[in-house]
Amino acid sequence: MTSPFPTPGEAVGVDVGATKIAAVRVTAEGTVSARARRATPGRTAHELVGAIGELVAQLGGDRVAAVGVGLPGMVDARTGALAFAPGLGFARAPLRAMIADAVGLPVVTDNDANVAAWAEYRLGAGRGHDHQALVTLGTGLGCGVVVAGRLLRGSHGFAAEASHLTVDPLGPLCECGKRGCWGVSASGATIAALGRRAAAARPASLLAGLIGEGSRDAGEAVTEAARGGDAEALEILERVGTLTGTGLAALANVFDPAVLIVGGGPVAAGELLLAPARVSFAQQLYSPGDRPPVPVVAARFGADAGAIGAALLAVDTAAGGPAAVP
């Protein structure tokens, strides 16, 4: 029989995406003890809060200390309100207060990349380093920066929007109106789009065959084709890796991190992506010979990063740790 009392240090972490919501229950040591997921409902804050409440209850939310929620948009660090989320269909909602009312627990809300960065800082590839940055290559590009052991939120909570750093001045047009933003030039979606284009141009290639099978997404097909020696798939990963290195160098020049972490699906390509990123990073970092090396490494956490990080951030904030300071 499970204890009816709150388990100190246990928390539920929720990662809200545009299409699905993933939730995990995490022990004080950061181990996932249960998980649940469902489709992202409707287009209103009330429907989203209802869905989060159900997931928390499903994971034994009456027996945890806190709930953390990562949101795909800009979150006001002071109030926990959602300011803007292009994929959710609503904005300007006081989500932290609404979720706290629904679950009856202390709740932390933050940007999804920020909570993923917290997972890497606390228990992942950046453990032990108080200055670090994570970029996640996904549908877009997420970024979270830890400075002096705290998440960098800026004066409003909107810091670390590296997706709109220019990495390729002649690159594709971004929804923000500029050309060559990192998020449209070197994200997971970029790899998938370039892969589909290359496959269409060369239907007899290994890449075209793998995409044509339809059993994996185009980005995964690029990685697999590159491993199989497909020249264009290798070139796509090299291009995206190189532009990622450009963005990482900008982050390092500004924040002077001890480590830079790259996450998201494309990291499955390993050195095929990271090696060109390191070359380009070293070329563009200011005075690399006069500073200690800054490792560029793969994230430890995969698809769970956001949910685990949200749970850890909730626990740390409830405990009054340094994460609680915006």
Q: Which residues bind Zn ion (CB under 5 A)?
A: 164, 174, 176, 178, 181
Least separation in angstroms between CB 157 and Zn ion: 19
State which residue, 132 or 163, has the beta carbon closest to Zn ion.
163
State which residue, 168 or 304, has the beta carbon closest to Zn ion.
168
State which residue, 186 or 297, has the beta carbon closest to Zn ion.
186
Do 69 and 109 touch, CB atoms closer than 8 A?
yes
Beta-bridged to residue 32, according to DSSP, are 26
Least separation in angstroms between CB 152 and Zn ion: 20
Question: Which of 326, 316, 186, 191 lies closest to 250 in space, CA to CA?
Answer: 186
Give the H/E segment covering residue 296.
strand 296-298
Cα–Cα separations (whole angstroms), residue 263 to 141, 192, 260, 297, 323? 10, 16, 10, 9, 21
Least separation in angstroms between CB 176 and Zn ion: 3
The residue with tokens 């929804």 is 175
State which residue, 34 or 176, has the beta carbon closest to Zn ion.
176
Least separation in angstroms between CB 181 and Zn ion: 3
Q: What is residue 34's three-state secondary structure?
A: strand
Q: Which token pair is 199? A: 């496959």
Q: Which token pair is 36? A: 């649940």
Least separation in angstroms between CB 179 and Zn ion: 9
State which residue, 68 or 183, has the beta carbon closest to Zn ion.
183
